[in-house]
Structure 1
Amino acid sequence: MHLAYSAYLVRDYDEAIGWFGEALGWRGSELGGGKRWVRVGGEEGGQLLLARATSDAQLAAVGKAAGGRVAYFVHTGHFDADHARMVAAGVAFAEAPRQEAYGKVAVFADLYGNRWDLIEAPAEVPMESGAAA
């Protein structure tokens, strides 16, 4: 078994699809059937299932994943190139890249203010090893 999707609250599907496409280079896909079912993600691993907030409580929760802690972790094999592309796309990084035991990392915020880690693991620490930020 593996985790396939994780729900991600959005105010608007199209603004979120646009941000993920521009900032992370992720593509979206939709399934029809009368309900909008939108997934975004990279080439490998799990995807986010975009869930449009429809109540006041859900709208209040947009951008508050993990209570302000880093909620999402994006692994890359091309940190410097991806970081530069994201900066050029206007992604707000909270810090300069730094080296940790688990790899090169920098914290950034998404369009709603959720915090993410961009991580490149060193060659001797495989990304699937469970190293955490």
Structure 2
Amino acid sequence: MRQSLFAVTLVVPDYDAAIAFYTRTLNFTLTQDIDLGDGKRWVLVTPPGAVSGSLLLARADGQNQIAAVGNQTGGRVGFFLQTDDFDRDHAAMRAKGVHFEEDPRHEAYGTVAVWRDPFGNRWDLIQFT
């Protein structure tokens, strides 16, 4: 048997704002944007160079989902963007206005720094050793 993680849902306040951030700021690829009717879309964005593992951007619908935007993991880092060149990507992200909560730090597993997307979700930028 072979399985892989295909996508993870990220609840966002607006499809187009999320697409703009992930594609223009982080250089993700807009893999799919399909109109499902009734204001819903199937929107997948994929990190540059990735062969699997996309974000499914889902517009918040209803009070529970609106309340979850930016807090889907209860304040913990919930998303991990792996890079092959931490310094390059850290500098590029900062130059495009990405807010890092801390300076890069070196852990036993690699170099890491926590950042937030514009919707409040906490991420790690990480390069494993």
Normalised to the residue count of structure 1, the TM-score between the two structures is: 0.87
Aligned: 1:50 with 2:57: yes
Aligned: 1:69 with 2:76: yes
Specify the code of the residue in structure 1 equivalent to 2:34: L
Contact 1:93 1:106 in 2 (8 A): yes
Instruction: Please list every run of at least 4 consecutive aligned residues from structure 1 whose deviation after the TM superposition is greater than 3 angstroms.
Output: 32-35
Specify the code of the residue in structure 2 equivalent to 1:38: V
Instruction: Provide the aligned length of Structure 1 versus Structure 2.
Output: 122
| Residue in 2 that maps onto 1:81 | 88
Alignment of 1:16-35 (within 5 A): 16-28=18-30, 29-32=32-35, 34=37, 35=40
Query: Percent identical across equivalent pairs?
Result: 49
Q: Which moved more, 1:22-31 or 1:102-111?
A: 22-31
Question: RMSD in angstroms over aligned alpha carbons?
Answer: 1.2
Deviation at 1:22, TM superposition (A): 2.6
| Residue in 2 that maps onto 1:38 | 43
Deviation at 1:2, TM superposition (A): 0.6
Q: Which moved more, 1:43-52 or 1:98-107?
A: 43-52
Structure 1: distance between partners of 2:35 and 2:59 = 15
Structure 2: distance between partners of 1:118 and 1:88 = 15
Greater helix fraction, Structure 1 or Structure 2: 1
Classify the secondary structure of the residue corresponding to 1:66: coil
Q: Which moved more, 1:28-37 or 1:87-96?
A: 28-37
Which runs of 5 or more structure 1 residues have no equivalent in the other structure? Answer: 123-133
| Residues 55-74 of structure 1, C-alpha deviations (whole Å, 9 max, x = no match) | 01111110002100100001
Structure 1: distance between partners of 2:72 and 2:94 = 22
| Residues 78-106 of structure 1, C-alpha deviations (whole Å, 9 max, x = no match) | 11110001001100000001111110100
Structure 1: distance between partners of 2:34 and 2:59 = 15
Normalised to the residue count of structure 2, the TM-score between the two structures is: 0.89
